[in-house]
Amino acid sequence: MALSFLEYGITAKTRKNKKSSPTLVKWNELKTLFEKQIENNTDKLIRETVYAKANNPKYPMECRLMFGNANVPFGYVGGNTDDHLVKSIPCKNIEQGKKTLMEVINAIETDNDVRKIVANFLKGRTGFDDSTIPTGLLEC
């Protein structure tokens, strides 16, 4: 073939020849990651929801933390099953939501129950380095 552009063409072989691997988030980087999310994506993390408005008009918003596209669990209420896992918290406004999320972020560093829940949530997640989870946090 004499087509001049073919020498610059991309083949399946060249696409698969990646030289670098994606950067994985480490356990000790979670606080910074979540703080940046609050700073840069407040509208995504703290927002007014139909559910919150309908159930308690004084708290028309919900706040959450995210890793990838999944809500990070904060803890359990009323049991120890996935049905009782708290993934968002009602709040009055954005400022209260930020304050609540900062409390959760600090709990990830200090509260052993929250640390275990978050560690088990992150284990096996794309984009997270499982080997950096502190020993003793993962359920056997």
Looking at the DSSP bridge assignments, the partners of residue 47 are: 62
Q: For 35-80, what is each residue's pLDDT tens digit?
A: 999 999 999 999 999 999 999 999 999 999 999 999 999 988 887 7
SS3 101: helix
Mean per-residue pLDDT over the chain, rounded: 89
The pLDDT confidence band at residue 18, using thresholds 50, 70 and 90, is low
Amino acid letter, residue 128: F
Cα 97 from Cα 55, distance rounded (Å): 17
- Cα–Cα nearest to 99, from 109, 85, 89, 108: 89
Residue 16 host element (H or E): helix 12-16
Cα 123 from Cα 106, distance rounded (Å): 20
pTM: 0.79
E strands, 8-96, in order:
46-48, 61-63, 66-67, 70-71, 75-76, 85-86, 89-91
Task: Name the residue ranges covered by the structural domains of the chain.
Answer: 23-124
pLDDT of residue 111 exceeding 80: yes
